């Protein structure tokens, strides 16, 4: 997003802040995550779209040259071989705009994270 814009209030607002071709990619990521984690709640965290299900599940974000995907270190470690074709860090992968999004892989990773999170004790909702 542009440095001069304020943090988006929700994922719709986040997506609308990008050019049409990037919006299409962001919406595909969103829909893929929604299908893989139907009970997850959408949020904006660290100015990025995020999904929560019994705690943090995954984040994703657009950048000039790629879509960043953040399934935490456990999601990266579990799918290390499949993700090795992408530039990545300890808890993130970069999907270049000049390549199709690996939506089947995103689905597998999100389902893994759902199973992982549902195996943890439920986090109490914080009161605001």
What is the model's pLDDT at position 5? Answer: 59
Residue with tokens 């705690």: 55
Domains of the chain: 18-115 (3.90.1150.200)
CA distances for 107 relative to 4, 9, 34, angstroms = 33, 25, 9
Burial (CB count <10 Å: 0-12, 13-18, 19+), residue 26:
buried
Q: Which residues of the chain have pLDDT under 70?
A: 1-5, 122-128
What is the model's pLDDT at position 92? Answer: 93
């Amino acid at each position: 997003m542009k440095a001069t814009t304020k943090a988006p209030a929700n994922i719709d607002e986040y997506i609308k802040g990008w050019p049409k071709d990037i919006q299409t990619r962001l919406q595909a990521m969103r829909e893929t995550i929604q299908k893989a984690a139907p009970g997850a709640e959408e949020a904006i965290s660290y100015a990025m779209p995020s999904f929560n299900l019994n705690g943090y599940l995954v984040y994703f974000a657009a950048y000039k040259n790629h879509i960043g995907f953040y399934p935490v270190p456990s999601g990266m470690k579990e799918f290390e071989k499949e993700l090795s074709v992408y530039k990545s860090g300890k808890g993130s992968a970069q999907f270049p705009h000049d390549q199709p999004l690996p939506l089947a892989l995103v689905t597998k990773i999100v389902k893994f994270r759902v199973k992982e999170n549902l195996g943890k004790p439920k986090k109490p909702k914080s009161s605001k």
